[in-house]
């Protein structure tokens, strides 16, 4: 006797969303996308190769060609051993582009003199010094001028020294007299027409700034005629002479010699502090770090800012964690009415964009129009929140704690709920009070999870540019320093060095400070992580 076994119908296989997405980008579509991405990559490589060739960077060119060829081989000629590379290459490229290259560039800048006045290359600086040395000699000639184009379309200057004088055409090769019959002038002596040349008039005159500045009409010796606007020209004579053989400038008037000082400038041999401008960018080794360590103009502000930065980051983390933990314990009690509402209110600062909240607080704490002082004024209190050094520091810490507390509230809430209830119950049975249970059981177990986050928060606040710059701008400043002000932390101090230090921007010194900040944060964080290992024994 046989029995028939009933079987349930098998449902057809339905691939999930991820599987369908992968299928879309496979086959012909995937091949087309791959070829498009490789085409873009190779186009960028060609552009980079042109730039490298233009700057004669042959080693970089060789690395670029080999890397591009290797990427093309991995994706166009797949082999079993190249399969992992298909996934490693994109990550490696982004790692190099966004991590390794910026780090190397920052180190390179820190070891140079890259700053205002030291941005050009040496040949460019020499050329600019020659241009800057041009001055009007005691008997320099002045000309009425009209820009014009010759038959080849090149810019020339039609020049007339005085209303009744000779008319010349000035080119980059010199001046050539023109017959008076070939030239027409207006009542003021300005040439209005010249045979064989097309005078430039109208709106085109206002597009000639770059061309006019570049056109130097040589006369006698090193003198040259330069345009001064679009209707006047003057003969200029250099005050410096460059000796290419000796690599030095000589002041023509008194014979003072300016030699290469090895730090990117031509300095007077007799008075080294007298330097010609501009200089050029060059490597100077550890000079910026030495300046930071030995020069009181930089060392003293740096040390003062470092102390405040450490205090600011420490207090912000400690107070934020304390308030966040207190609120987490208070709102973790069962049966509390409106618990969800209270939790939502506490988290609100975390949901507001930080930069917007900081700008709002800057308005609220305004000394004259701020709402906070307006309310305090009803009881006769006026606080210079952002205009007094000490109160500004209090304001910065207060606002930073307001912004950071929700983070530690959420972290502490999760950590508290992960602590087994049996442990606190056992401690209570053994006679432990509320404070003793918290100090000996809850807090140690809580720190196992929260300590690494506190260290990360300390590192974040140590470099919290936005909280300082958007709220106080680093101020208020004292009369002795406009760079390192009362609430500046190291990162805002570095920013100010990079844009307004001494004669201008000092990117090299700012990069050196940035490197020092990295080692400070890395050292403090490393020590903190090492010390926090003792908490692991409690878990």
3-state secondary structure of 283: strand
Is residue 275 within 8 A of residue 259, CB to CB? The reply is no
Helix H or strand E encompassing 273: none
Instruction: Write the pLDDT tens digit of every residue in 396-446.
Output: 999 999 999 999 999 999 888 888 878 877 878 877 777 888 888 888 888
Q: Residue 177's beta-bridge partner residues?
A: 168
Sequence-separated (6 or more) residues with CB below 8 Å from residue 393: 308, 312, 486, 487
The CA distance from 387 to 373, in Å, is: 13
The CA distance from 200 to 190, in Å, is: 13
Specify the CATH number of the domain 19-110.
1.20.58
Of 104-118, 145-159, 199-213, 320-334, minimum mean pLDDT range: 199-213
* Start-end of CATH 1.10.3720.10 domains in the chain: 293-538
Give the pair of three-digit tokens for residue 66.
């080999």
Cα–chain-centroid distance for residue 373? 36
The model carries a pTM of 0.78
The CA distance from 168 to 525, in Å, is: 74
Instruction: Write the pLDDT tens digit of every residue in 271-311.
Output: 988 999 999 999 999 999 999 999 888 888 899 999 999 99
Rounded to the nearest integer, the mean pLDDT of the chain is 86
Instruction: Write the pLDDT tens digit of every residue in 95-153.
Output: 988 999 999 999 999 999 999 889 999 999 998 898 888 888 777 778 888 899 998 88
pLDDT at 336: 77
In CATH, what class is 134-238? mainly beta
Cα–chain-centroid distance for residue 439? 45
* Start-end of CATH 2.40.430 domains in the chain: 134-238
Per-residue pLDDT at 482 exceeds 80: no
Report the share of the chain in percent with pLDDT over 70: 92
The CA distance from 311 to 303, in Å, is: 12
**Residue in the block written with tokens 């009803």:** 378
Averaged over 454-469, what is the pLDDT? 93
CATH superfamily, domain 293-538, is MetI-like (1.10.3720.10)
Is residue 414 within 8 A of residue 333, CB to CB? The reply is no
Largest CA distance in the chain: 135
Cα–chain-centroid distance for residue 122? 25
Instruction: Write the pLDDT tens digit of every residue in 218-261.
Output: 888 778 888 888 888 888 888 999 999 999 999 988 899 999 99
Q: Is residue 1 very low, low, confident or very high in pLDDT (cuts 50, 70, 90)?
A: very low
* Start-end of CATH 1.20.58 domains in the chain: 19-110
Strands 217-218 and 224-228: antiparallel
Length of the chain: 539
């Amino acid at each position: 006797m046989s029995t028939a076994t009933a079987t349930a119908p098998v449902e057809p296989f339905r691939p999930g969303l991820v599987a369908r997405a992968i299928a879309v980008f496979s086959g012909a579509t995937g091949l087309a996308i791959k070829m498009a991405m490789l085409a873009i990559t190779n186009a960028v490589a060609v552009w980079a190769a042109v730039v490298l060739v233009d700057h004669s960077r042959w080693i970089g060119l060789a690395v670029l060609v080999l890397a591009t060829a290797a990427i093309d081989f991995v994706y166009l000629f797949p082999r079993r051993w190249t399969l992992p590379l298909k996934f490693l290459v994109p990550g490696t490229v982004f790692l190099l582009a966004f991590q390794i290259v910026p780090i190397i560039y920052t180190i390179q800048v820190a070891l140079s003199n890259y700053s205002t006045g030291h941005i050009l290359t040496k040949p460019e600086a020499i050329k600019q010094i020659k241009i800057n040395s041009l001055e009007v000699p005691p008997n320099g000639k002045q000309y009425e001028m009209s820009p014009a184009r010759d038959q080849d379309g090149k810019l020339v200057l039609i020049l007339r020294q005085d209303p009744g004088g000779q008319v010349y055409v000035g080119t980059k090769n010199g001046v050539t007299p023109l017959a008076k019959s070939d030239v027409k002038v207006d009542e003021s002596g300005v040439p209005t027409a010249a045979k064989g040349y097309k005078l430039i008039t109208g709106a085109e005159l206002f597009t000639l700034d770059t061309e006019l500045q570049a056109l130097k009409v040589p006369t006698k010796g090193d003198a040259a005629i330069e345009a001064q606007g679009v209707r006047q020209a003057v003969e200029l004579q250099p005050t410096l002479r460059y000796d290419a053989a000796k690599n030095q400038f000589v002041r023509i008037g008194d014979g003072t010699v300016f030699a290469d000082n090895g730090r990117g400038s031509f300095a007077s041999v007799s008075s080294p502090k007298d330097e010609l401008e501009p200089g050029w960018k060059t490597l100077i080794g550890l000079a910026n770090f030495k300046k930071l360590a030995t020069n009181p103009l930089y060392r003293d502000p740096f040390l003062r800012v470092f102390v405040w930065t450490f205090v600011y980051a420490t207090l912000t983390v400690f107070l934020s964690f304390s308030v966040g933990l207190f609120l987490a314990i208070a709102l973790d009690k069962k049966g509390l009415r409106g618990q969800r509402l209270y939790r939502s209110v506490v988290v609100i600062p975390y949901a507001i964009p930080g930069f917007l909240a900081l700008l709002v607080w800057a308005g609220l704490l305004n000394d004259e129009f701020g709402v906070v002082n307006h309310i305090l004024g009803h009881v006769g209190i006026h606080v210079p929140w952002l205009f007094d050094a000490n109160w500004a520091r209090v304001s910065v810490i207060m606002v930073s704690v307001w912004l950071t507390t929700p983070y530690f509230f959420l972290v502490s809430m999760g950590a508290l709920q992960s602590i087994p209830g049996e442990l606190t119950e056992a401690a209570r049975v053994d006679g432990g009070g509320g404070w003793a249970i918290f100090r000996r059981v809850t807090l140690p177990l809580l720190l196992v999870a929260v300590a690494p986050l506190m260290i990360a928060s300390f590192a974040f606040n140590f470099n919290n540019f936005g909280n300082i710059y958007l709220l106080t701008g680093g101020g208020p400043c004292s009369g002795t320093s406009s760079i390192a002000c009362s609430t500046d932390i190291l990162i805002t101090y570095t920013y100010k060095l990079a844009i307004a230090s001494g004669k201008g921007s000092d990117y090299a010194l700012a990069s050196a400070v940035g490197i020092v900040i990295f080692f400070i944060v890395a050292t403090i964080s490393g020590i903190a992580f090492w010390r926090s290992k003792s908490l692991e024994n409690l878990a």
